[in-house]
Structures are given as C-alpha cells and as structure tokens.
Structure 1
Amino acid sequence: MEAEQALLGAILVNNDAFYRVSDFLEADHFFEPLHRQIYNVAADMIRAVKRANPITIKTFLPEDEKIGEITVAEYLVKLAVEATTVINAEDYGRSIYDLAIRRNLIGIGEDMVNIAFDAPVDMVPSVQIEDAERRLFELAETGRYDGGFSDFNSAVISAIDMAAAAHSRDGNLSGVASGIRTLDNRMGGLQSSDLIVLAGRPAMGKTSLATNIAFNIAEGYQFEVQPDGTNKAVNGGIVGFFSLEMAAEQLATRIIAEQTEISSSKIRRGEINDSEFEKLVGCSQMMSKIPLYIDQTGGISVGALAARARRLKRQRGLDVLIIDYIQLMSGNKRTDNRVQEITEITTGLKALAKELNVPIIALSQLSRQVENREDKRPQLSDLRESGSIEQDADVVLFVYRDEYYAERAIADVDSKDYEKNLIRYEAGRGKAEVIIAKQRHGPTGIANLAFQPEYTRFSDLAEDSHIPEQFE
C-alpha cells in the first residue's frame, strides 16, 4: 500500500513520473481498488496531454466515498503532499508490479490445490497440469492472464511496427521468410499468429517442403538484444518441429541429404566414400549450431503439444512451429467421432498460434478422392476428415507434382496415350507446384518450384530470363 501511495503521489505532483512506469505497469497491478481508479484517470489525462493533479482528477472519482475519516478529494491531496521524488518512481512501480505477479501466482497455486482436492471424476491430472502450465506461461509472458479489449490505437501502432519491420528485413517481408523466394513473394513470408495448413497426397513431398522451410528459417536466424535482455529475431527464427511420423534422426538425415547433395538412401545404406563422409561431418557441425528443435512424440494431444510449445518459447524462444501431421494428433478428450476430434485439434492449433504469436505450419493428408479425378490437382474439399481444417486455417497450401503421376502413366508402354504421357513427364520433371488455395491476407494462385527428389529439396525455379542463352 505504501508503494502504491508513494507512486501515485509522485505522478500527481509531476506527471513525468507516469512515463517512467507506463510501459510495464497497468491499473490492474494495484491492490487497492481506489488506487486503480486514480491511476486509470491520471493515465487517461496524461496521455491526452492534460494536467493530472488532485484538483483536475477529483471530479472523475466518486465524491461520496470515504477513506477512513477523509474524503477522496482530501486523500488525493494527502498523496500529493507525502509524494516521493520522481527518481524513485520506477522503483516503486517495479515493486507494485512484482507484488501483483506474486498475488497472481498465489491465486494459481490455490486453484491448483483446490482443483486437485476436488477434481471431478472425468478430469485426468494431465488436463490440470496443462491448464496450470498455460496460466503460468501467460503470466510469465504478459504479467497478467485476464483477457479484454484493447483500444484501436494499439492495433494501429502494431500494424505500423510490422510495416517498419518488413521495410528493414531482408526481402522486405512482413513475416518470417521461408527461404523460398517464389513462395515468400506470394505470401509476404509466414505471418505471426497464422495457422498455415500444408497438404498433399503421399509422395508429393509435403514433409520435404516443411523440413526445407524449417532449415532455411533456423539457418538464417539473426537476432538483436532488446532493452529487457531478451532476443528478438530480425531475420530467420527459432523453429520447433513436432515430428509425429518420423524419428528425429530420419528428419536429420533428410536435411543433411538436402544440404550435402548426397542421396538420403545412400546415407542410410552407408554407400558413401571418404569425401562424402567429410561433407556429412562438416554439415553436421554446422547444423549443430542452428536453433531447430525436434519433438518426436507420436500421437501427442493438442493440449500436450501446446504445453511443450509454451515451454520451448519460455526457455529457448520460438518464432515458427511446424507439425507433421494433423491426422496423427489426438484431441484432449478421446472420442469415436474423428471429425469432431480433428475440429478440436485445428481450433486448438489456431488458438495456440494467436497465443504464442508465431506462425504454425501444420501438415495434413488429403482424401483419396483426388486419385479418382483426371486432373489430380488438390482442392479445398479434398482436405481429409474435417471441413474445420479449411475453416480454421489462415492459409492452405497444396503440394502437387505432375511428374509423379506422369511417371506412373508411362510405366504402361502399351498405352495408347504413352507418347502424350511421355511428353507430360518430360515437361514436369524436376518441377513442383505449391497451390495457394486459401489466403486471408493475399491472393490465391500457384507458385512453381524446382524439386530434386534424390535430395528431397525444394527450391526456386530458374526463370527463363535468368538462364544463359542456348546455342545449337
């Protein structure tokens, strides 16, 4: 109480004291309700470039309220008379903030104890752990865990900050660069709080594209130290990769094959010479330094995944999260209705993207109905098991390689369309399409990429204007 009184007195005597604490101290951090009202009124007046003192703010406070034997107006004068100096204002502000955080911790602790004692029969302990971890994470990130409205001016300032960051970042992108220029130009990079669904039929290369993007972002990571001592990514980022299908070493093998241009099948079989082995060792030393973290837990629930993602952001930082893939996840509540479970998963992932303020790339399977069409390019209706994937996603990308289908078609040499299929195969060899089927922030369309299956590598396709002149 003494710290609150001292700070409010300093603000009423010299309004400059407010700016020493306004960047971290909110009205809700005050313990005494009247102090919250005084701080709120004073803050509004000071931000409006008006003088805040006992005379100007008393009309905005309840006249009939008593503090002991004195009125609110007399209490304001008492605060001003007994005010501390402006120099100490920040110290008092920090003390008030720290005590508010402790009160919130006490509240979370009491809730944990009470719920553990009186938990309903159908509430498993893991659910309580995830809820407690979520509340603790939110407290650690923001110092508060209550939601609410924010004024539009704050949103405008954030939008301008994003534009300024895009102007100064490599490639002038507002989001995190995927390292594939053709894709970045169409999407403006991977946008914070977006749920990006990357889907495709088996063998199209969706996992390969995800690992390519993960490595490009982690390799390009550059940061600057903020005034509070934390690191902020200025290029690239820290990547978390949930590999529900493949083991961590299989994922690493793919990335090593891509970087060294040594076939992953040769690496697995040990069919490499000494010079290739040296390339592998050199690549592994480089990769050991990049901020790419892999979790290979299979069948993880959306709640457990969220808890681990929060922990990663708190302990090491997090700029992009990748999940391979949605259909291998489970909901927090087991149910026989798979469509309902997928809906819970995608809703949870979108909420997590907003909470962590990072882009989440979630891979997804497509239904077999694609194979029954003549044109096998995927459509939004092909997303498997639930329309919620299309609904909750901010961006939907489909990976399509016509080379794969043409190669299967030319296997039948007796087919009447053999020549036609051969031409189609030659035209599509080494190429892939990333179809942007949905994008909240920009246009849909097709990004044409190059694909090297032996190295599982996607890259930008060389434009005709950049290819050296050919001579017969």
Structure 2
Amino acid sequence: MSTALLPFEEDTQLETIPHNLDAEQAFLGSLLYDNEVFHRVADWLKPEHFYDPVHARIYDTATDLIGKGSLADAVVLKTHFDRDDGLREIGGATYLAILIESAADSAASPEYARIIYELALRRELIRVGNELVNSASTDQERKSRELIQTIEQQLYNLAEEGSAQRGFVGFKQALAEAIETAAAAYERDGGLSGISSGLKSLDEKLGGLHPSDLIILAGRPSMGKTALATNIAFDVAKNYEFEIQPDGTKKTTNGGVVGFYSLEMSAEQLATRLIADYTGIPGYMIRQGTIDATQYEEIRDAVLEIQSLPLYIDDTGGLPISALAARARRLKRTHGLDLIVVDYLQLVTSSKGGEGRVQEISDVTQNLKALAKELNVPVIALSQLSRQVEQREDKKPQLSDLRESGSIEQDADVVMFVYREAYYKEREKPREDTPEYLAWEEEFRRIEKLAEVIIGKQRHGAIGTAKVAFDGARTKFSDIDTRFEDSAH
C-alpha cells in the first residue's frame, strides 16, 4: 500500500485553514474597551482558540489581569508587552490602539467570540482528520479498531473541551482547578469534595467519590460487593440535581448521572435489587412472587417514582474495555455522566488477552484509570479476591488478596474491601441439639447485621475502616443506628 499523503492534505495551505483575524481583532478590542465582556465568554473561550498566537497572548494576559480584579486595557497591557517580540513585530503599543479602534459593540462581542471558537473547532477537526488519514495509510502495526478508539477519544475531547489535545497545563490553571475543588467541598454539606456515597461513615473516610479516581471495591463471593456498589449508584442517581449554565449545558450540583456496567447480573436482576432497596420488600419475595396485594401496590408506586432516575445499565457480558470506554463517552455526550460502576473487573476483556491473565487485567485497570481521568468522573470497579483469604485465621482481606493484585493495587487510587464477619460465622453453625449452639446463636445475632468497609489504600488520605449496617433480605448497606451499635457492643 502506498504511504504517500493524500492530495487534500498536501494542498491544505495556511491561508485556507479556517480563521478570521477580523473577528479576533473586533473581540479583543471590545474586551480591552469593556472588561465585562470577559465574564460572558470566560467559561468556554480559551487562549488556544485564537488563530493568531499574539492574539492568544493578549487574551491570556487580559484573562489573568481580570481574574485578579485588575483593569485590562491597552495602557495596562502595554507594560506587559513592552518586551514581547511578537507584539513589537506587528506594531507594539500602536497595535493595541488599532484593536480598540476595531472594537465590536459590547452586545455583539459574544457573537465574535463564538465565531473564534467555531473556527478553532474546525481547525481541530481538520487536524484530527489528517491524523486519521495518515495513520490509516501508514501505520500498519495498529489495528483498525485501535485507530477508531484513538480518534473517537480525540473527537470526544473536542466535543467536551473544545480541544482534542490537552497537553501541558500551566501551574496557574492547575491551581485554579484545585481551588474549585476546595470551594466545592467548603460549600457542600458535610465538607465533601466528591460525590456522596450515601454512607456517612464511608464519606468521612474518603471525602466522597472524587472525579478521575479509580476505586476498586473487592470482596469474596456473596460478601456484598455488588450490593454496596448498587446502593451507592442508586443513592447518587436518586440525589441528582443540576443547574443550567449560560451556554445551555447542565452542571451537576448534587448526586449525579450513573453508568452501571453489570457484566454478571442482568439489568432485570439489578432492577429487582433496586426495587427491594427502595421499598424494603425482600428481593427473594419479589422474584418468587410471594407478595401480597399491598406489597404489589408498593412496588408499582416505587417503579413510577424511580423509573426516571438517571441510572443507565449496560448488561452486555464479556464487554471489551475499548467498547466500555466508547459507550461511556457516548453516555456522557448524550445524557451526562458523573459516576461509572463496573461489576466486575475480571469480566472485562482486553485485546491483550493472549498475553496472559495478569497482563490482561493490567491493561483493563490502566484503561479504566485513563477513562476516569478523561471523563473526569470516579470509576468504581468491583474485583474478586483470591481464595487465600479463606486459609487464614483472620479472614479480613488485605491488598495481597486481590486477584492479579500487582496491577490493580498500582493503578487504583482507592482500594476498599467489603467484610462481614457473619458470613464466616454462619458457616460455623453447630447442630441445634449441642451445648455450643446457644453461644453461637447469641454471637451470630450480635454480628448478623454488621459489616465493615476496609480502606486498604487511599492515595489522597488515610486508610481505615468504616462500620456500616447490612440487611441481607434487602441486600442493603446503610449507616449504623448508634443505639443499635451500642447494644451490639
């Protein structure tokens, strides 16, 4: 196959690349004349959207000054650009005066800003298109599906941020983002910087579920890890609140939109659990149909109340990590997305499956972490524990109990374990006609509804244990009633 560039790429001359210097001048002139213009476009117009590098520097400097509460006019900017070679080449202070003369009316300035933004997107689209043409023509090593995934990711970033490549971020911008996080924690009830899990004891340990974090939730089979993940997802969706931004987009102010990948359990089974959680009617009774008329009415009312919750379930079995990421991007683009839950990690497949199980899991966890950062949402991925925990006298799980633990522990920001002592105690049940039975029964009843969420790793905080209550009939975790906790001790 020929590796020559396609004709349209060779002919893409600088003068034909979409840009409008008149619009850039008119907007900047308006901005220097009236700094209030900035507040109408600051959320979406960035320096990198300007075609002319000098215009980008002027806008960046004005942004910095206005952000500090200072005036940004031609006189003030002149002192900042006295030694700027780029500005001196096009006229120096005289050019700033020309911008003022070219100023658009303040009311029309946002329209010029939109022209600048639109043309910047078109330039990025051309760049992404050229990259796709080059890669498809010359890169014989990469599979077509990998190319599609790469380009789709760039197009998603372009749709969300207005730039397909983030690149280096200035320390000033990083500080601004850190302050935004701190401000959100300060303003939110309970001081959470992340999304509430719905469990106060867990939120106190984690500070909520943080954007861009990969959270591993692990446990032995039947320990309740799916139940806990479902409880968290349901609570987040149930508390979803948003406000409309000036550009018409939605900004989540509480709770969030949840994408739940249920790779083991069907969507119908998951929905039954949620109904049991909401109504308090045991799930086994709903499945077996052993409910009375009153309970049926409760279930019907519950369905009407929760059917519009922003909880989206994908129950495709054996889902490849590339497809999982693509569907998450699509969900965020179409409905919004604030939390991803994957149940469970070992059921996600990877293109590196032929290189061994450890390598495949490593690839999955690396991609889940990358997805959390790309979409800026927390990702909760459930994981199995190895059987070695069963051989120890102390059955509380440790990081080394994670299956294929090296990569999981390395890539995760948080590793949590679900542990219920009653799970093991129940298996020690003696015969009812023995003297040991009464002592066993008393001890079992004391711990039957107690559970622990053990935080084995936390990149941003301390490790520790959150004690919670567990209702097996409803498969529901909740905060412990202090009166119940006191009586349990």
TM-score by length of 1: 0.88
Indicate yes or no: 2:302 matched with 1:283.
Answer: yes
Indicate yes or no: 2:139 matched with 1:142.
Answer: no
CA contact (8 A) 1:302 1:329 kept: yes
Map of 2:17 onto structure 1: none
- How far is the alpha carbon of 1:111 from its aligned partner? 2.9
CA contact (8 A) 1:323 1:362 kept: yes
Cα root mean square deviation, aligned: 2.9
Instruction: Give, in whole Å, the separation in 1 of the partners of 2:94 and 2:418.
Output: 71
Instruction: Give, in whole Å, the separation in 2 of the partners of 1:357 and 1:32.
Output: 30
- How far is the alpha carbon of 1:371 from its aligned partner? 0.6
Give the SS at the match of 1:166.
helix
CA contact (8 A) 1:256 1:284 kept: yes
CA contact (8 A) 1:176 1:235 kept: yes
Give the SS at the match of 2:355.
coil
- 1:48-102: per-residue Cα shift (whole Å, max 9, x none)? 74653585466333279866xxx66665554444444444333222211111111
CA contact (8 A) 2:399 2:405 kept: no
Q: 1:415 to 1:113 in 2, by over 3 A?
A: farther
CA contact (8 A) 2:74 2:97 kept: no
Give the SS at the match of 1:298.
coil
Instruction: Give, in whole Å, the separation in 2 of the partners of 1:422 and 1:348.
Output: 47
Structure 2 counterpart of 1:405, one-letter code:
Y
Pairwise mapping of residues 63-142 of structure 1 onto structure 2 (< 5 A)? Answer: 78-120=98-140, 122-142=141-161
Map of 1:202 onto structure 2: 221
Instruction: Give, in whole Å, the separation in 1 of the partners of 2:354 and 2:104.
Output: 61
- 1:104-123: per-residue Cα shift (whole Å, max 9, x none)? 12222333344344452x53
CA contact (8 A) 2:82 2:92 kept: no
Q: 1:40 to 1:160 in 2, by over 3 A?
A: closer
Give the SS at the match of 2:232.
helix
Instruction: Give, in whole Å, the separation in 1 of the partners of 2:382 and 2:172.
Output: 36
Match of 2:52 among 26, 32, 41: 32
Aligned length: 464
Map of 1:61 onto structure 2: 84
Instruction: Give, in whole Å, the separation in 1 of the partners of 2:332 and 2:101.
Output: 46
Gapped regions of structure 1 (runs ≥ 5): none
Give the SS at the match of 1:241.
strand
CA contact (8 A) 1:31 1:100 kept: yes
Map of 1:314 onto structure 2: 333
- 1:171-210: per-residue Cα shift (whole Å, max 9, x none)? 3322111112221222222122211110000110100111
Match of 1:391 among 375, 388, 410: 410
Q: 1:117 to 1:255 in 2, by over 3 A?
A: same
Give the SS at the match of 1:60.
coil
Indicate yes or no: 2:346 matched with 1:324.
Answer: no
- 1:113-144: per-residue Cα shift (whole Å, max 9, x none)? 44344452x53332222222211110111101
Map of 1:440 onto structure 2: 459
Instruction: Give, in whole Å, the separation in 2 of the partners of 1:385 and 1:286.
Output: 41
- How far is the alpha carbon of 1:272 from its aligned partner? 2.2
Map of 1:6 onto structure 2: 26
Match of 1:259 among 267, 274, 278: 278
Pairwise mapping of residues 356-395 of structure 1 onto structure 2 (< 5 A)? Answer: 356-395=375-414
Q: 1:299 to 1:79 in 2, by over 3 A?
A: same
Q: 1:467 to 1:377 in 2, by over 3 A?
A: closer
Between the aligned residues of both structures, percent identity stands at 51
Instruction: Give, in whole Å, the separation in 2 of the partners of 1:411 and 1:465.
Output: 26
Instruction: Give, in whole Å, the separation in 2 of the partners of 1:88 and 1:151.
Output: 31
Gapped regions of structure 2 (runs ≥ 5): 1-20
Please identify, of 412-421 and 444-453, the stretch whose mean Cα deviation from structure 2 is larger.
412-421
